[in-house]
Amino acid sequence: MGMYPLSLLESRVAAQGMELCIDSRKATPGCVFVALPGSSADGSQFIADAVARGAGYVVCRPESAGNCGEAEVVDCADPRQALGLLARARYGTASLPFPVVGVTGTNGKTTTTYLLDHLFASAGKKTGVLGTVSYRWPGHHEDAPMTTPDCLDVHTMLADMRAAGVDMAFMEVSSHALDQNRVAGVGFGGAVFSNLTQDHLDYHHDMETYFKAKAKLFLDGDGKPFADRVMAIGTDNPWGARLAGMAPEAIGFGLTASGASGRYLEGKVLSSTTAGLRLHARFEGREWEFTSPLVGNYNAENLLAVQAVALGFGLDPEAFRCFETFCGVPGRLERILNPQNLDVFVDYAHTPDALINVLNALRGAGFKRIVTVFGCGGNRDRAKRPLMGEAVARLSDVAVLTSDNPRHEEPEAIMADVMPGLSGAAEVFADPDRRRAIEKGLELLHPGDALLIAGKGHESTQQIGDVKHPFSDQQTVREILGCA
């Protein structure tokens, strides 16, 4: 066993194209095995297996260095950060010929990346997207198993984008990914902060820790803003206003100029109907209007986020006319067309704030009643469950509580956590069978009403235990209404 400097290993990986491995079962002779720490399984437990399979180098925490046999050892405090540096060296992603724009925030990441993709593609750029719905670039499309891929996959995909001639890449960056250094080694050229509201507290424990994870996309380890990236920060949210104060060169954006200072893109909703939005915007002495078929003030903020980062990259506001032709995002207030002409919408809203935004958008559209079918995911932040119930009780006329992705919890137990929040609801139905709940929601619809099916959006499966069963809210509606 020998001790090996990380910088020297980076150089060797770059020069020799050495394979990197984080799964001991995939270790090959001479590869570099990085023992990643984890809550359910720790890579240090599999060092001996990786070495037995021929791993020539092991990157691990100092306390695990004694388990490495004859392999060269790189001990470091943060193997995840080291993996990013090694992946960058292996795949040549240290200096990409295109900017990578990271988008973070509790809500709005997917719509923002889709809008960025549409805007820059309309401007003649080849684009790549990594996000909740899919990973795609010219010649490649795959469904996404998670919002932000693991570190090795991120760098592999960025290298593939380079080979495909991509001009701009957009990546949803989750708080988990930032906390776990899954984007370590990525030289972001741009960063967008949409908002921060309660979610993932089962993981982060409190909002301050959640905020600090998100802020890693904008601030270095010393708390100083990255000088080499275009930043756009939504300041209507207090967490965004705080972040903007820490990154004074960022472009702030919002629907209110309250407390705004420095560079600020101010938007105003001129009209909001079921046909879409018309907005006025002002930035550094220039003013313009634009329209979009998207509905709701929260989508107005998403549109401003995209314009803010685009302005930072030098696009002219004239380019924003393309938003008129944006056709929306799968599972984001997606209208399900049907021969009965019922107003049925599917949305990914799975946080209290997201539900409030979507329901307010439907309220503002003038429907007589709103029926909401929703549930909460299992093995996720329990504290938000009654808050989601409160949002539905306050803004819906009828609530139909059901199962979402229960994972390893009993659906009835999850629903029991939601019920206190529904105490003020006018009318409540409950059924853990999601298909039956959707049937009930459709049965309750009267002419002029709207049905919102919330929580799963674009998803095509329902996770029960460790098994993902085929299930699509959109397809279920079509089957029930006879238009599948």
Backbone angles phi, psi at 307, to 5 degrees: -65, -40
- Please tell me whether 406 is known to bind a ligand: yes
256 in a labelled binding site? no
Q: At 330, list the tokens.
A: 């799968």
110 is in an annotated binding site: yes
**Annotated binding-site residue? 111:** yes
Rounded CA separation 50/23 (Å): 8
Task: Check: CB of residue 162 under 8 Å from CB of residue 96.
Answer: yes
Collapse the DSSP code of 356 into the 3-class scheme (helix H, G, I; strand E, B; otherwise coil) and give the result.
helix
Token pair listed for 439: 């049937």
Check the annotation: does 190 bind a ligand: no
Asked whether residue 409 is marked as a ligand-binding residue, the answer is: no
Annotated ligand binding at 229? The verdict is no
d(CA 107, CA 158): 24
Distances (CA, A) of 328 to 139, 192, 324: 22, 19, 11
Find out whether 92 is annotated in a ligand binding site: no
24 labeled part of a ligand binding site: yes
C-alpha span between 229 and 187 (Å, rounded): 9
Residue 174 counted as an annotated binding residue: yes
Q: Is 341 exposed, middle or buried (0-12, 13-18, 19+ CB in 10 A)?
A: exposed
Provide the token pair at 191.
């960063």
Q: Please report where in the chains the tokens 């009209």 appear, as a residue.
A: 271
Structure-block tokens of residue 163: 């080979």
Query: Does 455 belong to an annotated binding site?
Result: yes
Phi, psi of 169 (to 5 degrees): -125, 145
Q: Annotation-wise, does 107 bind a ligand?
A: yes
Residue 418's closest CA among 403, 408, 434, 407? 403
Torsion of CA 38, 44, 48, 53, to 10 degrees: 50
- Bridge partners, 396 (sequence order): none
Any binding-site annotation on 148? yes
Please name which of 439, 239, 473 lies closest in space to residue 336, comparing C-alpha atoms: 473
165 annotated as a binding-site residue:
no
Q: For residues 255 and 56, what is the distance between their CA atoms, to the nearest angstrom?
A: 56
Is 459 marked as binding a ligand? Answer: yes
Alpha-carbon span 372 to 337, nearest angstrom:
18
What are 111's two structure tokens? 């719509």
Contact call for residues 146 and 78 (beta carbons, < 8 A): no
Q: What angle do CA 120, 126, 132 make, to 5 degrees?
A: 75
d(CA 319, CA 120): 9
Number of CB atoms found within 10 A of residue 327's CB: 8
**380 labeled part of a ligand binding site:** yes
* Known binding-site residue numbers for meso-2,6-diaminopimelate: 380, 404-407, 455, 459
* Known binding-site residue numbers for ATP: 105-111
* Known binding-site residue numbers: 24, 105-111, 147-148, 174, 180, 182, 380, 404-407, 455, 459
